[in-house]
Amino acid sequence: MSKYVPKNEEKFSYDTGRMCRKCKKGNYITSGRSWDEYVPETKETVTEKRGVDVKHSDGTTSQISWNVSVDKYSGGYTTRQTKSISKCNKCGHKFKPNAAIFISIGFFLIALILAVLSWTLDIITPFVIVLAVISIIGCIAGIITKWGEVRVKLTNIFAVILIIASILISVDNGARIAGGSLSSMRTGFRINQFGSNSMVISTNRNLSGVIVIPSQHRGTNITAIGRNGFADTSISTIIIPRTLSLLMENSFARNPYLTSIILHENIYISHGIVSPPFHSSNNVTIFAESSTKPIYWNNYWNASNGALNEAGQFVGGGGFRPIIWGVNLSEAGDFVVSFLRSEGNIERGMQYDGSVPIINAPYRMGYIFGGWAVGRVNGTVVYNAAHVYRAAYGSMLYAVWV
């Protein structure tokens, strides 16, 4: 006797609306039957092990175990079963599900990945471009070919829309790259907008050379560099705008090739206890527009090794970067014009091993620093960058740019 007992059998037939892939003239007609199947109740006897722990008067324990037979029941319910087949009503071709819908869903998932990458990385990368090309080709193929399924076409249409939106967002965000250039796809930094101001919160760690931070982003002033904003890069110089008013902890940390930076007088340096902004950037020379250290900069703001502990004390390592105070800047604040030599306005700093670091040259875009002239603009060079500290007090020193 059969295990399954069919009941309430019904036959059905309907037009699927899908055009035949073979003759392209007829439609697939699905026909078949459905029925109730009662699964009889069955009993199975199984052996299970039972046991208890027995504690004796002497404090020891032992286990007593035994086997028992247990009856387990299954079945006793009804399920609805269906069996069908689809054939073309013109040529009799049998319909078999193909990979069209799965391919379509695959391209749509690629489009989702593309969207996530573009919104996360903020800039177009070669990997994003490859995904976009593959997705668009596949989706357009799904739209224009007769795969027959409306859901396939709709899925691909949505995928293409998503891809185009992702690319537009990537291109728009790519305009954040220094200098507004898209020539290098993986160079740039990420900017977040907070109300009417913006902050540089992270950078591509592959950055190198000269970096220029724009003064504005989407109509808002860039006013801050966040914690670790330009940490762990290979930049040599960074030009910051006058709109910048805040440097947070580790802003330029661990940049071994950073040689010079200009700090405007309106900049506030964070007093955080994690690390100073130039931590482990052991080659930078700082040109400060302020004539002396502002009272809201802590005493370790230019430390290049060590860190502040929770008590605000500088611990570990040692080393402070050289500073030239009171420099006169260009109107845009992007290069040094001159400074008046006075007592204490050149701090030569100290390396972590106790040696005196070399004072580096300032930087100007498109020019080479020739040295320091005394008394007049474009005069004869008297001091090179490393020996400018030898200038007599009261001397007005002018940067010579060639």
State the pLDDT at residue 352: 66
Report the pLDDT value the prediction gives residue 180, as an integer from 0 to 100.
33
Q: What is the pLDDT of residue 95?
A: 78
pTM of the predicted protein model: 0.55
Q: Which residues face 263 on adjacent strands?
A: 288
Q: How do beta strands 216-217 and 336-340 pair?
A: unpaired
- pLDDT tens-digit readout, 367-388: 999 999 998 888 899 999 999 9
Rounded to whole angstroms, what are the CA distances from 104 to 129, 159, 246, 311, 398? Answer: 19, 9, 49, 60, 67
Do residues 231 and 274 touch, judged by C-beta distance below 8 A? no
**Residues of the chain whose pLDDT is less than 70?**
1-6, 96-108, 111-112, 114-156, 158-160, 162-188, 202, 271-274, 306-318, 352-354
Burial 214-223 (b: 16+ CB within 10 A, else e): beebeebbbb
Q: H helices within 122-258, ranges in order?
A: 126-144, 150-174
Beta strands in 277-368 (DSSP E): 285-288, 307-308, 314-315, 323-324, 327-329, 336-340, 346-347
pLDDT at 183: 29
* pLDDT for 162: 66
Longest dimension (CA), the chain: 115
β-bridge pairing 336-340 and 307-308: unpaired
